[in-house]
Amino acid sequence: MKTAQMMKPAGLTLSIMIILMLSSLNLVAQTYTTNAAGPWATGATWGGTAPSDWQGYSAIINHNVTVPSSINGFNQIRINSGRSFTSGSAGTPQNLSMQNVTNFNVNNGNVTVYGDLTLNATTMTITTGSLTVTGTLTLTGDAVLTNNGTGLISVGAFNTSGSGGTLNINAGSLSVTNAMSINSSSNVTVAAGRAVTVGSLAISNNNDAVLDNSGNFTVTGSVSQGGTLNNLSGGTLQINGNLTGSGSGSSVTTNSGTINVSGNASMPSSSRMQINPGGTTSVNGNFTVGDNENLVVGTNVAPPAYADLIIRGNLNQTGSGDVRIRRNGRFAVFGNVTDSGGGDSRLTVESGGQAYVHGNISYTGGGSQITNGNAGSAVTPYGLYVNGTTSNTGGGSTTTANKGNLVVLQTTNVPFYNWVNSIPNTPMPVSLIYFKVTSYEQEIVSLAWATATEKNTERFSIERSVNGSDFVEIGSVPAHGNSTEKHTYGFQDSNLVSGRIYYRLTSIDYDGYTESFKVVFVDATFGNRVELYPNSSTGAYLNIKATFEYTSDARFEIYDSRGFVIEKGSITTDLNLTFSRPLVPGSYLFHYVSSAHKQIIRFVVK
């Protein structure tokens, strides 16, 4: 006997499959919305069942929520309406790990983690609101954190690990209390106008660990740089400690921005610094350059714009450390330039480049070279200026002859001198426009000078010499202290000697620093005259000289400020008069009387 078989309609199977597919789709796309404030894992918070991990759910946060130690596998989490998303508490910290959250959007809320926060393969975007992490914020697994709002991201420390991540500060600001560590396969970007402050900065030894800064980035401590640091257009990087390069991928580039280092900078053999046109790098301490051409200022493009490097301390080239100043480069060292270890160091100024060393250049290693490529300039020397001395004593070393001093810089390359003089805390306190003899009439020489700027300048000393090398002060004129306006000065010398007279102007600061400017001269000729020198005197002696033959009745008398005669005698030949008692500081009158000539001369004892 055959048993009858029931046949399933074909349409029934298809219907069941569709229902299962729709149910599965609904499960993946399910959205949970908070119904009340409370813990994430409590159903009452959601008005039913709490969402579970790894289901690709979406969660809409319209209330204040406290979260567990991990949240994983969500398609979207969105915080709205100024609500809070909190892990742990101040008294009971709790770390939070978020993994594979495709979109974590903070539209108008505040995320607070009392502990560490790890974003692993997670994209978090802050549109309006804030992120606060009391511990360490770590990005890994190509995680992305972006601040697009006006709020603050504040963390105890920042780190990237594993396959790294991306941090974008497009708006708002970032504060890292302690260290920021950017490791391989990671990129931190700071947009123009954005403020970032970190305690210290470490960029790992890989060229794919990148910091691109166009904002205002402040490091209160030091920077260890082994990756790629680009200070882009308009960016300012302020380093209050030291800047140290390390690693084979280390490069520091300034493009139309500013890097200020309060401490020392070091670019060892594996590191490189490049300042491009429009960029400025300033180091308040010393700069050490290791092997290879690790410090390059400018490019081979006609200025403007200029690429500027300022070193307020010393430049030390170790091993075969090389420095190159290119066509649009401007370079100033306020201390000394030295080499150490092995020699073959090079200081190269290319055609168009300009370099000033306020101290000395001292190379001792063999094969070191000081080169200036401005040989074809209309004015020679041009392009390389050393205020101190230059020595290059190692075997096989070469030093350019195309090298000027500070006076040459002042008189032949005024634009570059003005740039050096405009640098804050420049060692050149006075910007002199001119110093000249304006007239020589009736046995009086009139001197004049003008300044464009004065910094901490107490007075100007006017010195005179009869041989061009031994100068004695003959007067002093008060300066204006600190000024950025033009000031003119004058001085007259009426106590002349016949022949060529040299005059030198020296500025004297309140701190005792002095700077002497170029020497001018006048050829003085006149009739019968008695001359006294030195004037001013030390009070021990006085030289008396006449331009005529003495008569037998010639005599002299010296009066003090009270009108008393303190010295007198006859004189028949030029005399070196030693006073019977040293004269006290003050003003005195010398009277010469004879049947042929009478003259009164004032002299000063200091």
Report the mean per-residue pLDDT for the chain. 90
Instruction: Give dist(CA 338, CA 365) in Å, integer.
Output: 10
Residue 572 is part of a domain; what is its CATH number? 2.60.40.1930
Amino acid at 327: R
For 365-384, write each residue's pLDDT tens digit.
Answer: 888 999 999 987 777 899 99
Lowest-confidence range among 159-163, 308-312, 526-530, 562-566?
A: 526-530
Is residue 5 pLDDT above 60, yes or no?
no
Q: Given this model, what pLDDT does residue 325 score?
A: 97
Is residue 75 pLDDT above 50, yes or no?
yes
Q: Given this model, what pLDDT does residue 91 score?
A: 95
Residue 567 placed within a domain: yes
Instruction: Give dist(CA 214, CA 367) in Å, integer.
Output: 41
What share of the chain in percent tops pLDDT 70?
A: 94
Return the bridge partners of 347, or none.
323, 370
Q: Given this model, what pLDDT does residue 29 score?
A: 58
Instruction: Give dist(CA 473, CA 535) in Å, integer.
Output: 8
- 516 and 539 part of one domain: no
What is the b/e burial string over 310-342, where b = at least 16 CB atoms within 10 angstroms of the residue's CB? bbbbbbbbbbbbbbbbbbbbbbbbbbbbbbebb
For 271-321, write each residue's pLDDT tens digit.
Answer: 889 999 999 999 999 999 987 778 999 999 999 999 999 999 999 998 778
Residue 474 placed within a domain: yes
For 556-597, write each residue's pLDDT tens digit.
Answer: 999 998 999 999 999 999 999 999 889 999 999 999 999 989
Is residue 117 pLDDT above 80, yes or no?
yes
Lowest-confidence range among 12-26, 124-138, 434-448?
A: 12-26
Is residue 4 pLDDT above 80, yes or no?
no
Give every strand in the sheet of 541-546, ordered side by side.
530-533, 541-546, 575-578
Is residue 17 pLDDT above 60, yes or no?
no
Stretch 173-194: mean pLDDT: 96
Return the bridge partners of 148, or none.
none
Q: Given this model, what pLDDT does residue 72 score?
A: 96
* Structural domain of 65: 27-89
Q: Given this model, what pLDDT does residue 247 score?
A: 66
- 440 and 518 part of one domain: yes
Predicted TM-score (pTM) of the model is: 0.73
Is residue 204 pLDDT above 60, yes or no?
yes
- 547 and 582 part of one domain: yes
Nearest to 101 by CA among 48, 151, 141: 141
- 438 and 511 part of one domain: yes
Instruction: Give dist(CA 258, CA 236) in Å, integer.
Output: 5
Is residue 21 pLDDT above 70, yes or no?
no
Instruction: Count Cβ atoms below 10 Å from residue 403 Cβ, excluding itself.
Output: 21
Q: Given this model, what pLDDT does residue 377 score?
A: 75
- 572 and 508 part of one domain: no
pLDDT grade, residue 2 (50/70/90)?
A: very low
pLDDT grade, residue 486 (50/70/90)?
A: confident
- 503 and 463 part of one domain: yes
Return the bridge partners of 197, or none.
175, 218
pLDDT grade, residue 23 (50/70/90)?
A: very low
- 520 and 534 part of one domain: no
Q: Given this model, what pLDDT does residue 568 score?
A: 94
- 513 and 534 part of one domain: no
Q: Given this model, what pLDDT does residue 341 score?
A: 72
Residue 508 is part of a domain; what is its CATH number? 2.60.40.10
Q: Can the peptide bond before residue 304 be classed as cis, meaning omega within 30 degrees of 0?
A: yes
Q: Given this model, what pLDDT does residue 249 score?
A: 66
Domain stops at, among 62, 89, 116? 89
Lowest-confidence range among 3-12, 417-426, 511-520?
A: 3-12
Is residue 15 pLDDT above 50, yes or no?
no
Number of domains in the chain: 3
Stretch 53-57: mean pLDDT: 91
Q: Given this model, what pLDDT does residue 525 score?
A: 73
For 233-276, write each residue's pLDDT tens digit.
Answer: 889 999 999 999 986 668 899 888 999 999 999 998 778 899 99
- 455 and 511 part of one domain: yes
Residue 513 placed within a domain: yes
Q: Given this model, what pLDDT does residue 27 score?
A: 44
Instruction: Give dist(CA 59, CA 179) in Å, integer.
Output: 33
Residue 72 placed within a domain: yes
Residue 425 placed within a domain: no
Residue 17 placed within a domain: no
Residue 184 placed within a domain: no
For 267-284, write each residue's pLDDT tens digit.
Answer: 987 788 999 999 999 999
Q: Given this model, what pLDDT does residue 248 score?
A: 67
- 520 and 540 part of one domain: no
Instruction: Count Cβ atoms below 10 Å from residue 529 Cβ, excluding itself.
Output: 19
Residue 49 placed within a domain: yes
Stretch 487-495: mean pLDDT: 92
- 556 and 517 part of one domain: no
Two tokens, residue 136 = 């360490």
DSSP 185: T
- 442 and 519 part of one domain: yes
Domain stops at, among 524, 549, 577? 524
Stretch 149-167: mean pLDDT: 94
